[in-house]
Structure formats: structure tokens, C-alpha cells
Amino acid sequence: LSLSTDLVQALEHDRFELYFQPQVAADDGELTGVEVLLRLRHPTQGLISPGDFIPVAEETGLIVPLGAWVIRDACRQLRLWQALDVGTLSINLSPLQLQDPQLFEIIMQALDVNQIVPALIEFEITENALMRNSISTLNQLNRLKQLGVRLSIDDFGTGYSNLSYLKQFPVDRLKIDQAFVRGVPTDSNDVAIVDAILAVARALGLSTLAEGVETQAQADFLRARRCDEFQGYLYSRPLPANEFEAWLHTRR
Ligand code: G
Ligand code: G
Ligand code: MN
Ligand code: NA
């Protein structure tokens, strides 16, 4: 009948899957982490991207239990990869999850059950999520930070550009949105924006990751400007767990 009904059933019938996209160091290309990206295996429509269902899950509130499933399943996978040294596992958090009083408990339990060191987990929060409900969001983020997980700002540069919140929130790194990465090194506006983001990050002591790196020219430019890490099709698309393991084996 509707996508929102489909989503409830999909969660009940375990039809969501996690994909994993490598993040690599700019200097030597070594794996530094993995972003967890959600997919829906629809019985008739095949694999559906989060861009097509996350907005519905946010409108209906399903993102709260769905996001909890993502956290638990990602931690389960990280435990299975314990011997592989995959680095930091980055998990996307929605604004509604940040307002959920149970979020902290859900995270604590997932870490505990899987015996995961908090420093191996990073939560990605978009700029717009940070701008909303700043008091409760700030409290939630401070608790998470004290627990020892890492925090990053996703899609950096695309939100409402009030930079004052960067001082308030205990974030560790900025993920430069692929919209700006796309144009470097040829588009002078994108070059200016990327340079400005790198300068802000450096001044505030935050590390930087460029998203959507697709070409060697982009990587070379960003490396020269001392961006710390890269993620994008140049290295790998998001992959199911078994294909990610194969990707890792061919590189080591
Ligand atoms: O994988 P893809 O490029 O299609 O992801 C599209 C968008 O969906 C991205 O903005 C990404 O941050 C978001 N997304 C992917 N997985 C999750 C998830 O587990 N939770 C939330 N809240 N967003 C996700
Ligand atoms: O918004 P967020 O950064 O969480 O989501 C990343 C999204 O970007 C995912 O949907 C992923 O599939 C997509 N993506 C990852 N690498 C590339 C890339 O190199 N090029 C493009 N066009 N999209 C990418
Ligand atoms: Mn992300
Ligand atoms: Na992003």
C-alpha cells in the first residue's frame, strides 16, 4: 500500500541490510575506517537506497527503532571483524535519534554485548541535526563524547552555515560534502569552499574527510591541501560485508 507500511514490515522481517564503504588515509591509502550505509532489500522492488526511504522513516518516527537496529547490527559486524583491523566504524544518526532518551542506553548495550571499545565507533550527524533542539542535542552529544565514541559532522558545508555551533559541539571531524569535492580541482568556487572548510577544521583542531572522491585528480588536490582522509568510488563503492572482506584481502 505505502512505503511507510513496507518499512514497518521490512524491519519486522529483517529485510534491511548494511553496506560498508572504506575510508582511507590521504597519505598512504591505508584503511582507516568504514562507513555503515543502510539498504532495504524489497521483496518486489529489489535493493532500495536510503535516500528513498530515510525521509519516510524520519516522518513516521520509524527511524528510531530502525536506527537502533543499525547500531546493533553494525556492532555485531564489527565484532566479527575484530581480527581484521578495519579501523573506526562510522554510523549515521538521524536528528530524531539524537532526541531519543534511550539512544545512550542502546549504544552502551551494543558496545557491551559485542565488547567494543567506544573509540572504535564514530557517529555522523548532519549540520542540520545539530542546529535543531540544541540543548537536548548538546546534552546527548556530551554524554556520547564522555563515553568515548567519536563524533563527526556529515555533509559539512551544505547546512545553514552558522559556524558558531562548531565551538559548542564536541565533534572530532568534518566530512566534506561530495557536492564540493566533485568540482575540485577545476571549479574555482569549489576549490575556495574546500579550502575554507579545511582552514576552519585546522583552526579548530578537527580532522577532515572528503566524501565522494572519484578521481585521482581530486585525491591529489585534496592530499596537497592536507585533507586527512578520503572516501569514494575511487577506492570502493559501498559493499555488502562479504564483498568488503574480499576488497580488504586484495589490498593486503
Ligand atoms: O548510501 P547512500 O549514498 O545511498 O546514502 C544516502 C543517504 O542516506 C546518505 O545521506 C546517508 O547519510 C544516509 N544514510 C545511509 N545509511 C543511513 C543510516 O543508517 N541512518 C541514517 N539516518 N541515514 C543513513
Ligand atoms: O550523506 P552520506 O555521506 O552519509 O552518504 C554518502 C552517500 O554517498 C552514500 O549514499 C554513498 O553511496 C554515496 N557515495 C559514496 N561515494 C561516492 C562517490 O564517490 N560518488 C558518488 N556520486 N556518491 C558516492
Ligand atoms: Mn554519512
Ligand atoms: Na555526506
- Confidence class for position 252, pLDDT limits 50, 70, 90: confident
What whole-number percentage of the chain has pLDDT above 70?
98
Ligand 1 centroid to Cα of residue 80, in Å, is 22
Please report whether residue 50 resides in a domain.
no
Q: Are 36 and 18 in contact (CB under 8 A)?
A: yes
Give the Å distances, CA to CA, from 169 to 5, 52, 139, 153, 173: 36, 29, 9, 10, 11
- Residues, CB-to-ion distance under 5 Å, ligand 4: 154-155, 211
- Confidence class for position 76, pLDDT limits 50, 70, 90: very high
Burial 124-139 (b: 16+ CB within 10 A, else e): bbbbebbeeeeeebbe
What CATH code is carried by the domain that includes residue 195? Answer: 3.20.20.450
Phi and psi dihedrals of 158, rounded to 5? -100, -10
Least confident of 73-87, 158-172, 221-235: 158-172
Ligand 2 pocket residue status of 178, Cβ below 6 Å:
yes
Check residue 126 and give left, alpha or beta (phi > 0: left; psi -120 to 50: alpha): beta
Residue 1 has pLDDT above 60, yes or no: no
Residue bearing the bigger pLDDT, 216 or 1: 216
Please report whether residue 88 resides in a domain.
yes
Give the Å distances, CA to CA, from 156 to 60, 246, 248: 26, 31, 28
Ligand 2 pocket residue status of 233, Cβ below 6 Å:
yes
Residue 160 has pLDDT above 70, yes or no: no
Ligand 1 centroid to Cα of residue 37, in Å, is 5
- CA neighbours closer than 13 Å in the CB half-sphere of residue 8: 7
Please report whether residue 60 resides in a domain.
no
Please report whether residue 176 resides in a domain.
yes
Using CA atoms, how far apart are residues 46 and 203, in angstroms rounded to an integer?
Answer: 45
DSSP-assigned letter for residue 170: -
What pLDDT, on the 0 to 100 scale, is given for residue 133?
Answer: 66
Please report whether residue 128 resides in a domain.
yes
Please report whether residue 131 resides in a domain.
yes
Q: Are strands 46-48 and 88-92 parallel, antiparallel or unpaired?
A: unpaired
ipTM of this complex? 0.96
- Could you tell me the residue range of the domain that residue 171 belongs to? 18-35+66-236
- Confidence class for position 78, pLDDT limits 50, 70, 90: very high
Q: Which residue's CA is the closest to the ligand 2 atom numbered 23?
A: 212
Q: Minimal CA–CA distance to 125: which of 166, 83, 94, 168?
A: 94
Please report whether residue 5 resides in a domain.
no
Using CA atoms, how far apart are residues 16 and 53, in angstroms rounded to an integer?
Answer: 11
Taking the model in full, what pTM does it have?
Answer: 0.97
Q: Minimal CA–CA distance to 6: which of 82, 50, 57?
A: 57
Q: Structurally, how many domains does the chain consist of?
A: 1
Q: How many angstroms from the chain centroid is the CA of residue 34?
A: 8
Q: What is the pLDDT of residues 88-139, one digit of tens each?
A: 999 999 999 999 999 999 999 999 999 999 999 999 999 888 877 678 889 9
Ligand 2 pocket residue status of 238, Cβ below 6 Å:
yes
User: In 3-state terms, what secondary structure has residue 37?
Assistant: strand
Q: Are 124 and 93 in contact (CB under 8 A)?
A: yes
Please report whether residue 12 resides in a domain.
no
Phi and psi dihedrals of 82, rounded to 5? -50, -40
Using CA atoms, how far apart are residues 201 and 85, in angstroms rounded to an integer?
Answer: 27
Q: Are strands 31-42 and 121-126 parallel, antiparallel or unpaired?
A: unpaired
User: Which residues share a beta bridge with 208?
Assistant: 174
Ligand 3 centroid to Cα of residue 128, in Å, is 13
